[in-house]
């Protein structure tokens, strides 16, 4: 079940205490959180209930109690407690995310979605709530609705990485993997050096390899499916991104015989040059980031870095033989000013053709 897997990997992020820098009147709350991390839920609940008595106006304590209930699979008591504190003035999107999760895990996905939607009315910029709603829709097999929900989450909170992560996986398992490649690479730039980023690095590399087939006669590129209707007086710049990218990618593979770290970097460098030589509009936030790196002679190192988990042996060899180039890239890439910045006026959303 999608929700169960997602819970195991991400439920720790729901600790409201770990996500804020508030000074609590009840200092023992930190001991309780530590006990929850150690899976000593009942001991934690006792401490948190004492904190409630000391500081009855802060919803954090009952929230953490509900989190402990969920971790011990006592969803009924978690729901009862969360519904009881709904009227607290300082609740945030974490509250509605946890309430929805409790309903979903208890076998009531429809009520879970209602909880997320209720939260989105109060917190419309919450990428987390769109994420949780999308996960439930996935578990119901409503993939199209899940994709639309994740994209709404990206639009609402462009720098929140998890919506990119989830939607990328869906597209990479479809016939339109180009969108998955784009969303997945954006995710890698927003969430670096985690277990999820390592997984995504390998997944993207393997997806490129599977999308490009070389034979003695020709090369087949299968990045997306599209039906193109050309209207009168249409301009090349109006072509869907899927068509534009695939065309330039195909041309960029000329002379190559396989996809590996070296050839993939070369292909992407050639594609980037052609894309910007044609001045396509609107601009693409990820490709614009690529161009900035290319202008600074960093794009080759970036390509090796971003796909390194696909072929770790080849990456390690390249890194050893190109240490100055790699160090230059890392110094630039880790500077705050050079991080990928995405906002509501500058983001990437797929342009699927219906």
Whole-angstrom distance, CA of residue 202 vs CA of residue 209:
11
Whole-angstrom distance, CA of residue 284 vs CA of residue 181:
13
pLDDT value for 353: 37
pLDDT value for 12: 47
Whole-angstrom distance, CA of residue 95 vs CA of residue 109:
17
Is it the case that residue 8 has pLDDT exceeding 50? Answer: no
pLDDT value for 233: 54
Give the mean pLDDT of 156-166: 97
- Asked whether the CA dihedral 231, 233, 235, 236 is positive or negative, the reply is positive
Give the mean pLDDT of 137-161: 97
Instruction: Give DSSP secondary structure letters for 33-69.
Output: HHHHHTT-HHHHHHHHHHHHHH-TT-THHHHHHHHHH
CA-derived radius of gyration, the chain: 23
Instruction: Give DSSP secondary structure letters for 266-331.
Output: HHHHHHHHHHHHTT-SS--HHHHHHHHHHHTT-HHHHHHHHTGGGSHHHHHHHHHHTHHHHHHHHH
Q: Mean of the per-residue pLDDT values for the chain?
A: 89
Task: Report residue 26 as tokens.
Answer: 């009840």
Whole-angstrom distance, CA of residue 111 vs CA of residue 352:
30
Cis previous bond, 282, omega within 30: yes
pLDDT value for 344: 87
> Tens digit of pLDDT for each residue in 285-309?
999 999 999 999 999 999 999 999 9
Task: Report residue 3 as tokens.
Answer: 């929700």
Give the mean pLDDT of 337-354: 81
pLDDT confidence of 17, banded at 50, 70, 90?
low
> Tens digit of pLDDT for each residue in 46-100?
999 999 999 998 889 999 999 999 999 999 999 999 999 998 888 999 999 999 9
pLDDT confidence of 6, banded at 50, 70, 90?
very low
pLDDT value for 10: 45
- Alpha helices per DSSP H over the chain: 2-10, 29-37, 41-54, 60-71, 75-84, 93-105, 109-122, 127-139, 143-156, 161-172, 177-190, 195-211, 241-252, 261-277, 285-295, 299-306, 312-321, 323-333
Is it the case that residue 228 has pLDDT exceeding 50? Answer: no
């Amino acid at each position: 079940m999608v929700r169960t897997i997602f819970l195991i990997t991400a439920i720790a992020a729901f600790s409201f205490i770990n996500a804020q820098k508030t000074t609590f009147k009840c200092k023992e709350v930190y001991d309780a959180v530590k006990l929850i991390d150690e899976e000593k839920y009942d001991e934690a609940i006792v401490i948190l209930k004492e904190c409630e008595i000391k500081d009855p106006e802060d919803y954090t304590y009952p929230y953490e109690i509900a989190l402990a209930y969920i971790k011990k699979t006592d969803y009924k008591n978690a729901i009862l407690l969360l519904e009881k504190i709904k009227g607290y003035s300082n609740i945030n999107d974490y509250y509605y995310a946890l309430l929805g999760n409790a309903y979903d895990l208890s076998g009531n996905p429809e009520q879970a979605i209602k909880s997320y939607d209720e939260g989105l009315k109060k917190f419309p910029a919450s990428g987390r709530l769109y994420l949780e709603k999308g996960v439930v829709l996935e578990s119901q097999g409503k993939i199209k609705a899940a994709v639309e929900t994740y994209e709404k989450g990206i639009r609402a909170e462009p720098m929140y990485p998890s919506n990119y992560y989830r939607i990328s996986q869906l597209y990479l398992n479809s016939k339109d993997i180009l969108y998955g490649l784009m969303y997945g690479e954006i995710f890698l730039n927003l969430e670096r050096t985690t277990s999820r980023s390592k997984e995504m690095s390998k997944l993207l590399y393997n997806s490129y390899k599977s999308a490009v087939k070389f034979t003695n006669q020709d090369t087949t590129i299968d990045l997306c499916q599209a039906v193109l209707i050309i209207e009168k007086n249409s301009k090349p710049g109006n072509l869907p991104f899927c068509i534009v990218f695939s065309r330039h990618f195909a041309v960029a593979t000329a002379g190559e015989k396989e996809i590996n770290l070296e050839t993939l970097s070369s292909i992407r460098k050639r594609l980037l040059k052609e894309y910007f030589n044609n001045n396509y509009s609107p601009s693409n936030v990820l490709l614009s980031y690529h161009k900035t790196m290319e202008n600074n002679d960093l794009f080759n190192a970036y390509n090796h870095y971003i796909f390194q988990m696909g072929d770790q042996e080849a990456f390690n060899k390249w890194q050893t033989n190109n240490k100055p180039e790699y160090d230059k890239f890392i110094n630039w890439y880790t500077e705050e000013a050079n991080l990928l910045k995405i906002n509501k006026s500058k983001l990437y959303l797929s342009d699927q053709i219906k």
